[in-house]
Amino acid sequence: EAVLYVVATPIGNLADMTARAIEVLQTVSLIAAEDTRHSARLMAHFNIKTPMISVHDHNERQRIEQIVERLSAGESVALISDAGTPLISDPGFVLVRAVREAGFRVVPVPGCSALVTALCAAGLPSDRFVFEGFLPAKSLARRQRLDALAHEERTLIFYESTHRILASLEDMQTCFGPERMVVAARELTKTFETVKGAPVAELLEWMRADANQQKGEFVVLVQGAPARSDDVVNLEAVRVLDVLLEELP
């Protein structure tokens, strides 16, 4: 049976590659990679000689036809991205939907994702969380998105690049207030891995003081807004009731 495997690869430390991922990548007929030159290093390291084609945001739709053809010919294909789990702030969703619609099985081969990796070391509530991916690049749009999330009670998780880490934290300070607890998880699984949590004003000060702390890849996690306590809700209910009672004849 020909299937599309969606294969997670490491987010930095090559030792995080799973045994199953290596086996699948070695045995499929074709690997669809986000950036074939980038993935060539991974392939060389694990002695994977399977042919690769590129699938990125700009050619995903054209590639679908080719991949469905390969599947129809009975050949299995694997999808990988530059790092971590495909489809998570990476291409793949359109391909997976099309392959399923064409009647083929899609088999996930799980592994790393930066968001889960960061969450399990951040020390923030992990029972309910919201993954927001990348914030908009422009400040106005970014603040609008953050304003819309200001009362969210679940832990918020964002991806951020070195270019915008300070600007994003500054906007978080504006929209969530200086006291909101924020955790910056930098360079996870790599040499300079740092997980630093503090009220956002303090975190910003700490990061501004050391340019090295602004470098690399980031997951930014934000503690959810405090839950509205039952007392507040009850007080409001009593107030509404009082108003209604006055209106009664």
Question: Which residues would be at the binding site for ligand SAM (CB under 6 A)?
Answer: 11-12, 81, 83-85, 88-90, 113-115, 159-161, 185, 187-190, 217-219
Helices 165-176, 139-149: crossing angle, 10 deg rounding: 40
d(CA 90, CA 213): 25
By beta-carbon proximity to ligand SAM, the closer residue of 75 and 193 is: 193
By beta-carbon proximity to ligand SAM, the closer residue of 7 and 71 is: 7
Give the residue carrying structure tokens 């990125």: 56
| Residue 36 · residue 214 · CB < 8 Å | no
d(CA 117, CA 184): 12
Quote the least distance from Cβ 103 to ligand SAM, whole Å: 27
By beta-carbon proximity to ligand SAM, the closer residue of 29 and 189 is: 189
Q: Which residue is nearest to ligand SAM (CB)?
A: 84
Quote the least distance from Cβ 174 to ligand SAM, whole Å: 21
Give the residue carrying structure tokens 């599947």: 71
By beta-carbon proximity to ligand SAM, the closer residue of 104 and 218 is: 218
Tell me if residue 244 falls in helix, strand or coil: helix
d(CA 226, CA 180): 10
By beta-carbon proximity to ligand SAM, the closer residue of 37 and 49 is: 37
Quote the least distance from Cβ 220 to ligand SAM, whole Å: 8
Quote the least distance from Cβ 239 to ligand SAM, whole Å: 44
d(CA 120, CA 83): 18
| Residue 184 · residue 220 · CB < 8 Å | yes
Quote the least distance from Cβ 221 to ligand SAM, whole Å: 11
